[in-house]
Amino acid sequence: MSIERMWRQMPPAVFAPMLGFIGVALGWKRFSDVLDAGHGMSVAISVIVAAFFTLLLGAYVAKLVARPGVVVEELQKLPGRLGLAAASLGFILWGAHVFPVSEFVTKAALWIGIVSHLALLFLVVRVLAKMSAPERLATPAWHLTFVGFIAIPFAAFPVGYSSLGLAVFLATIIIAIAIYTITLNRVVETEIPAPQRPLQVIHLAPISLFTTLAADLGLAGLAFAFLGLATLTAILLLANVRWLTGQGFRPCGGRSPFPLWPLVARFCRLRHSWECFVTSAPVF
């Protein structure tokens, strides 16, 4: 396959697992910081992941330049909506990766990512509004589009945008609760089609990210509450793994690596969270 043909056919779904790999790199960095070990491996993973994401993003941008209307076409399908949301959020996290090298690049990536995700959100709402009722039913993939802004604090806090990070943190908790309520009600009342079952893994991501951010903010009680919910969710998912993967992973199955980041990061922050809890225990 020629390079030109490759970027012309670049599927946005590739960004879903890529977002997971970016997150794993950030999780490994937290792991090395907490244990003061493995810094060389952390740098190597970060460089490889950042370079690969840059390559994929460049290929997709080239596709957009050649066919600007392709975005609306790809948003008609779930893998497209999932992948494009992962791309804009991945760009923000890519910015968080390069912070030790350039604060300016981190800020630029943050604001470009925010604008891109807001534009994507607008387009997704328009596309969903034109779909039939069955086609626009809520799925866990909504977390990436509507709660995905939770990636913002990971780049905002290092560059000093604390108020922005905190506001996004609180707002996304409210949005996530609404999506959990709607989607879990659907699981209870209706039969989820087999191809959509692996999407349930995404439910793990928001609460794990909330755990990490709450710990970073020193909110020990809230961090441990989210930690408990995340652990319970992980156990439920593992207990139902045969139901989740009954028909194997489809082209959209690459979404499943995405929650690896918050899952890894959550456990890498256990030591910090415990220290916060012990320090603030007399307050409770």
Task: Please write the tens of the pLDDT for every residue from 49-83.
Answer: 888 888 888 888 888 888 888 888 889 888 889 88
How crowded is residue 212: how many other Cβ atoms within 10 Å of its Cβ? 29
Tell me what pLDDT residue 122 has.
Answer: 95
Q: How many domains does the structure of the chain reveal?
A: 1
List helix spans (H) across the chain: 3-8, 15-35, 39-66, 70-74, 78-97, 103-129, 142, 152-156, 162-189, 204-216, 220-239, 241-244, 260-268, 270-280
Tell me what pLDDT residue 274 has.
Answer: 44
Place of tokens 């991945």: 90
- Could you say which DSSP state residue 138 is in? -
Tell me what pLDDT residue 255 has.
Answer: 45
Tell me what pLDDT residue 41 has.
Answer: 79
Instruction: Going residue by residue through the chain, which has 284 residues, state the pLDDT in tens, using 9 for 90 and above.
Output: 455 555 667 888 888 888 878 877 777 777 776 666 667 777 788 888 888 888 888 888 888 888 888 888 889 888 889 889 999 998 998 888 888 788 899 999 999 999 999 999 999 999 998 888 777 888 888 999 999 999 999 999 999 999 999 999 999 999 999 999 998 888 777 778 777 788 888 888 888 889 888 888 888 889 889 988 988 988 888 888 888 876 554 544 444 445 545 555 555 555 544 443 333 333 32
Place of tokens 């969903």: 128
Can you give the residue range of the structural domain that contains 242? 3-283
pTM, rounded to two decimals: 0.82
Tell me what pLDDT residue 267 has.
Answer: 55
Tally the C-alpha atoms within 13 A of residue 213's C-alpha that lie toward its C-beta. 25
Tell me what pLDDT residue 238 has.
Answer: 86
Q: Taking a C-beta distance cutoff of 8 angstroms, is the pair 34, 272 a contact?
A: yes
CATH number at residue 63: 1.50.10.150
Q: CA–CA separation, 74 vs 55, rounded Å?
A: 20
Q: CA–CA separation, 165 vs 45, rounded Å?
A: 26
- Main-chain phi, psi angles of 99, to 5 degrees: -55, -45
How crowded is residue 225: how many other Cβ atoms within 10 Å of its Cβ? 15
Tell me what pLDDT residue 123 has.
Answer: 93
What b/e string do you get for 235-251 counting C-beta neighbours within 10 Å, with b at 16 or more? eebeeeeeebeeeeeee
